[in-house]
Amino acid sequence: MSRQSTVEKKIEKFDPIYHNRLVIMVVNCILKHGKKSLACRIFYQSLKKIQQKIEKNPLIVLRQAIQKLTPKLIVKSRRVSGSTYQVPIEIKKKEGKILAIHWLLESSRKRSGQNMHFKLSYEIMDAAREKGNAIRKKEEIHKMAESNKAFAHYH
């Protein structure tokens, strides 16, 4: 038996404006070089832009976008007797949500446009409508998992 005590799970905090954990997750993924105030400003401005464009609650649009981006399966490479196989693996909800947020931010950074909040708002709206590069990334992962279904027994 180990001498160390069990690790308590950290309780995720809520953001001050929307009181939502998903917002904190997205802000923390936007974060670069420890500049959290800049990340918050970018995110809140993008939500204002969504509010002006669609005239819906931006949190509902964000939640729809993340839900549509969340993958059910991912592909991991396994090495079996000298050859490497791409094995499809089911992932947990939280892990899938984190992947969806990363894909959303990655595709919004690659997008051409003026500011990050401008690009992020349009990428969120596109993901909610099932368009854009982030959705394409999810579909690509699912196609790879589907085509490598024969190697699922290596899991």
CATH number assigned to the domain comprising residue 47: 1.10.455.10
Greater pLDDT, 150 or 67: 67
- Taking only the tens place, the pLDDT of each residue in 9-59 is 887 788 888 889 999 999 999 998 999 999 999 999 999 999 999 888 999
**Residue 121 has what pLDDT?**
94
Greater pLDDT, 101 or 16: 101
Judge whether 14 lies within some domain. Answer: no
Closest among 44, 25, 35 to 104, alpha carbons compared: 25
Q: How far apart are CA 26 and CA 28, in angstroms?
A: 5
**Residue 1 has what pLDDT?**
58
- Quote the pTM value: 0.86
Domains of the chain: total: 1
Confidence of residue 138 (pLDDT cuts 50, 70, 90): very high
- Residue 3's Cβ-count burial label (10 Å; 0-12, 13-18, 19+) is exposed
Tell me the H-state helices in the chain.
Answer: 21-30, 36-54, 58-69, 93-110, 116-128, 132-147
| Full residue range of the structural domain in which residue 147 is found | 21-154
